[in-house]
Amino acid sequence: MKHQNQQILSWIQCQQSPSAPSAVPCSLPANVPINFPISTFNDFNIFEEYLRETTNLEAVCDYLSTVGGKDATTTTNRILKRCISNSLATKFSFFGKRQNKRAINDTLFKDLVIRAVKKSQLTATEQDVENILKAWLKHAPQRVKLESK
């Protein structure tokens, strides 16, 4: 019931006039300099630079918070799937300590995901989202194998 209410509220907000101050954007801001899902480190770095501007971070966060999901896990996974390709995800780990992978822990992207999930899943904690992100990155190689079949 709570999930249905969130979906209805999200739909209502999307139907509001774009000039209304409380309207939540239903699409990605037009000035995002890359295409989703991000598939290269170069695009990831460009997106990180874009997120340094607080208004950009907030706009993308507002958009991603409308992705939805029945709980923190589903919401986090849907956001990650929308933002990062599985092939790029295989080159990240949470702390970047193994196999010369890049750390996602110290990125604005990680902060963006946490904020977006917490905005739509009010009971989600930062640690919850971090643990879900760790698992999602860990399973990226298996998703790549499934994609190639």
User: pLDDT (tens digit, 9 = 90+) per residue, 88-128?
Assistant: 999 999 999 888 999 999 999 999 999 999 999 999 999 99
Is 127 a domain residue? Answer: yes
Is 22 a domain residue? Answer: no
Is 6 a domain residue? Answer: no
CA angle 132, 35, 7 (to 5 degrees): 55
89-113-43-139 Cα dihedral, nearest 10 degrees: 10
Q: How many domains does the chain have?
A: 1
Is 50 a domain residue? Answer: yes
Residue-number span of the structural domain to which 88 is assigned? 35-148
Q: What's the token pair of residue 66?
A: 């409308």
For residue 90, count other CB atoms closer than 10 A to its CB.
Answer: 17
Residue range 124-136, pLDDT digits in tens? 999 999 999 999 9
Q: Are 109 and 55 in contact (CB under 8 A)?
A: no
Is 48 a domain residue? Answer: yes
Beta-bridge partner residues of 102 = 92
Residues with Cβ within 8 Å of 73's Cβ and at least 6 positions away in sequence, in order, are 132
pTM as predicted: 0.82
Is 30 a domain residue? Answer: no
Is 60 a domain residue? Answer: yes
CA angle 27, 32, 37 (to 5 degrees): 75
